[in-house]
Amino acid sequence: MNIFKLSFSYLKKSPLNTGLNILLLALGIATITTLLLFNHQFRNNLVQNAEGIDLVVGAKGSPIQLILSSIYHIDSPTGNISLGEVQSIINNPMVAQAIPLALGDNYQGYRIVGTERSYLALYEANIEKGEFWKYSKEIVAGANVANKLQLSLGDTIVSSHGVMEAGQAHEDEPLIIVGILEETNSVLDQLLLTSVESVWDVHEHDEEHEEEHDDHDHEEGDEHDHDHDEHEEEHAKHKLEVSTEPFGFITNENLNKELTSLLIVYNSPLAGAMFPRFVNDQTDMQAAAPGFEITRLLSLLGIGFDVLEVFGFILILASMLGIFIALYNAMKERKYDLAVMRTLGGSRIVLMSQILLEGILLVLSGSLLGILFAHLGIAYLSGTYQQAEQFNINAWVILPEELIILNGAVILGILSALVPAIIAYRTPISTTLSKES
Amino acid sequence: MQFLNLKHRYENSEYTISYPDFTLNEKEHLLIIGGSGSGKTTLLHILGGLLKPTQGEVFIDGTSMYSMSESGLDRFRRNHIGIVFQRIHLISALTVIENLALAQYLSKQPKNKPLLQDLLSELGIAEKAKKYPNELSFGESQRVGIARAVINKPSILFADEPTSNLDDKNSDKVLKLLQDQAEKNDASLIIATHDERIKRHYNNVLNLDNEVIPVGNG
């Protein structure tokens, strides 16, 4: 027997009370910890994914939508921009580098992005297996996509139209996996990358195909076989080499094609003051600066976070109050126990420590349970929502702040057990025993 | 043990109880008799080191008990005093054996579970070791109370109204248990009671209703 066992026995004696207090505290701690983990990783990933990108240029619309769709690959793109307009941007002397993005298709919910090698360089991504694409309809898969969908080199996939799952399938346009990227902990992990030409080819062919189909309906069935042969020839013909030069896909016959957006790196910081205005005023496109939009987004979300945080603190305070009341009330019936323990030779300090220990045990188990809840909750959320996956929210990261929460909780536990402990310290032996005896 | 000139007045009380001086030799037993309100529980608490009297002194082995510090008194109780309360006051959150283990822990004795088991067997409640106090009859709780009081091998064993809830047969049994345990530990037994039935067993009777009456052989 020792005071630890004694405290534990008292807690065990009133399981409902103990359980409720622990649960209430756990909920409060879980709320705060979840926010902490989510907020931390969310902010980090927002910032990290936008690192190195000074500006995003795309079709007019909501700037946040443009940023969300072009950098983080959530939300729908704002529209398309013509190659003519693209040229006016990439030729501007204030632009050091531009990365083209052609969106519009997905494979099982993972977005297919038509781009160039420079997009990989932006996130310092290397190819782990296979090689970079040389031909149209070749795909380099992000680490997480490859892992989740069990893709390996040489696999063919059929993309669907749209950036969300379950669009119309491009059944006649299989794409082949030629490379798989290393894990980068960036948005690239969640993407399927290909050449801009490839995205065009898939769509162009699709349109032709649809027209063919329409024609076909009016013609007789005996021409069907012939049609099919033609298809195969076309397939072979479509193994087209793609340009390796930056914006090499801009050729005279392609001038009617479109891109979704451009990620821009400035030549000098001064461009930040002038270039966005140029884009917004002089062209039909819009420019959105990631830094500014992220700040705006976080301040919008911040209100929600703050409300939840206050809610979490209220839960914690309520549970501390609950622990205080439980211990304080228990003192009334425990007075006899305390007096008896004094007669058995227990010193005041021992009895006081025992009550404090009870408070600490309660708080510690509540806090640890709460932190566990938070991690399990995030693991569940990040497994359920692809948006969470997109942000690389990792459930099993332990932040130093969690230790601070734990310490803070223990201090609060000691505080809420302090008054009951002082009552224990002061319990007069004889008068307590004489009452009602 | 000797007590001299003892007087006690409770706060908010008009009465001051005065006790006759008394000397009890080592291993001798004493019966304190008195009706309710005569101050016998108070005297028991004073002698047991639980209540500092308003006036007067208690000497045990030549030491003045109430000139000791609070922690000195804790230590004194730990080493010399065992008390069986009228309402046993077992710790309800602990089992019988845990209650005894707690007494062992609080009196800073080495952990010794076999000793506790032996004690329970001696008192005929070995099979109740794992029971909680609310699962025991009064008689069983009282035995656990006796076991708890003698765990620290006290030099004085106090019992407050040990027979008040018992019939003749059982009251004799309990007195026998108390005497056996006192003798085993070479301890004095001091019983406070209003129960006149017990009187014939004791040489030293302190009657708080009247005076100290030394009785012959009993």
A273 three-state secondary structure: helix
In a domain, A299, yes or no: no
Q: For residue A351, list chain B residues with Cβ-Cβ distance below 8 A.
A: none
d(CA A99, CA A119): 6
d(CA A380, CA A367): 20
Q: Do both A225 and A270 map to the same domain?
A: yes
**pLDDT tens-digit series, residues B77-106:** 898 999 999 888 999 999 999 999 999 999
| Beta strand segments in B85-182, E | 156-160
The strand pair at B204-207 and B212-214 is best described as antiparallel
Q: Do both A213 and A174 map to the same domain?
A: yes
H helix intervals, A182-289: 196-218, 224-237, 271-282
Between residues A213 and B217, the one the model is more confident about = A213
Q: Do both A194 and A336 map to the same domain?
A: no
- Give A418 to chain B, closest Cα distance, Å: 21
Q: Do both A265 and A313 map to the same domain?
A: no
Q: Do both A139 and A281 map to the same domain?
A: yes
Long-range contacts of A143-148 (CB under 8 A, 24+ apart): A143/A180, A143/A181, A143/A182, A143/A183, A143/A184, A143/A188, A143/A189, A144/A183, A144/A189, A144/A190, A144/A389, A145/A110, A145/A189, A145/A190, A145/A191, A145/A192, A146/A177, A146/A180, A146/A181, A148/A110
Tell me if ipTM is over 0.95: no
Residue A118 CB-half CA count within 13 A: 19
Number of CB pairs < 8 Å for A and B? 82
Return the pLDDT at A6.
93
pLDDT value at B10 more than 80: no
In a domain, A296, yes or no: no
d(CA A83, CA A95): 16
Return the pLDDT at B218.
33
Q: Do both A142 and A159 map to the same domain?
A: yes
Beta-carbon separation of B93 and A9 below 8 A: yes
d(CA A14, CA A19): 8
d(CA A76, CA A164): 8
Return the pLDDT at A427.
86
Return the biggest CA–CA distance within chain A: 111
Return the pLDDT at A165.
66
Q: Do both A308 and A198 map to the same domain?
A: no
Q: Do both A278 and A355 map to the same domain?
A: no
Residue B121 neighbours by CB under 8 Å, 6+ apart: none
Task: Decide if A358 touches B, using CB distance below 8 A.
Answer: no
Amino acid, single-letter form, for residue B103? A
**pLDDT tens-digit series, residues B36-77:** 778 888 899 999 889 888 888 898 878 888 998 888 888 888
Average pLDDT over chain B, rounded to whole?
87
CA of residue A151 relative to chain centroid, distance? 22
Q: Do both A132 and A234 map to the same domain?
A: yes
Return the pLDDT at A249.
87
Question: Residue holding tokens 């024609």?
Answer: A215
Give the closest residue to A123 by CA, choosing from A40, A181, A60, A175. Answer: A181
Q: Do both A172 and A67 map to the same domain?
A: yes
Question: Residue holding tokens 């062209």?
Answer: A283
Q: What is the pLDDT along chain A (437 residues), one digit of tens a residue?
A: 888 999 999 999 989 989 998 999 999 999 989 888 888 888 888 888 888 899 999 999 999 999 999 999 988 899 999 998 999 999 999 999 999 999 988 998 899 999 999 999 999 999 999 999 998 899 999 999 999 899 999 999 988 887 666 667 777 778 999 999 999 888 999 999 999 999 998 887 666 655 555 544 444 444 444 444 555 445 555 577 888 888 888 888 888 889 999 999 999 888 888 999 999 999 999 999 999 999 888 888 888 888 888 888 898 888 888 888 888 888 888 888 999 999 998 899 999 999 999 999 999 999 999 999 999 998 888 777 766 666 677 778 888 889 998 998 889 889 989 999 998 888 888 888 887 54
| Beta strand segments in B12-107, E | 17-18, 22-23, 30-33, 55-60, 63-64, 81-84
Number of domains in chain A: 2
Q: Which helix (H) or strand (E) holds A430?
A: helix A429-434
Partner-chain residue, chosen from A2, A9, A340, that has the shortest CB–CB distance to B105: A2
Partner-chain residue, chosen from B45, B85, B152, that has the shortest CB–CB distance to A345: B152
- Give A360 to chain B, closest Cα distance, Å: 19
Give the closest residue to A34 by CA, choosing from A358, A410, A397. Answer: A397
| Residues A86, A100 contacting (CB under 8 angstroms) | yes
Partner-chain residue, chosen from B41, B71, B111, that has the shortest CB–CB distance to A347: B71
- Give how far Cα A370 sits from Cα of A15, A29, A176, B157, Å: 18, 5, 46, 50
| Residues B148, A344 contacting (CB under 8 angstroms) | yes
Strand partners, B160: B192
Return the pLDDT at A116.
93
In a domain, A295, yes or no: no
What does the DSSP 8-state code read for residue A68? I
Task: Decide if A236 touches B, using CB distance below 8 A.
Answer: no
Q: Do both A127 and A16 map to the same domain?
A: no
Give the closest residue to A94 by CA, choosing from A57, A124, A66, A60. Answer: A57
Beta-carbon separation of B77 and A10 below 8 A: no
Q: Supply the range of the domain harboring residue A157.
A: 55-288
| Residues B118, B154 contacting (CB under 8 angstroms) | no
Q: For residue B48, list chain A residues with Cβ-Cβ distance below 8 A.
A: 343
Q: Residue A241: how many CB atoms within 10 A of its CB?
A: 10
Interface probe, candidates A14, A342, A343, chain B, greatest B C-beta count within 10 A: A343
d(CA B128, CA A5): 20
In a domain, A297, yes or no: no
Amino acid, single-letter form, for residue B108? K
Residue A352 CB-half CA count within 13 A: 13
Q: Which helix (H) or strand (E) holds A285?
A: strand A285-288
Domain-wise residue ranges, chain B: 2-214
In a domain, A195, yes or no: yes
Q: Binning pLDDT at 50, 70 and 90, where does residue B196 land?
A: confident
Give the closest residue to B51 by CA, choosing from B73, B32, B36, B29. Answer: B73
Return the pLDDT at A308.
84
Using a 10 angstrom Cβ sphere, with 0-12 exposed, 13-18 middle and 19 or more buried, the burial of residue A369 is: middle
Q: Do both A123 and A221 map to the same domain?
A: yes
Return the pLDDT at A220.
43
pLDDT value at B161 more than 80: yes
Between residues A199 and B203, the one the model is more confident about = A199
In a domain, A162, yes or no: yes
Return the pLDDT at B216.
39
Q: Which fold has domain B2-214?
A: Rossmann fold (3.40.50)
Q: What average pLDDT does this structure show over B103-114?
A: 91
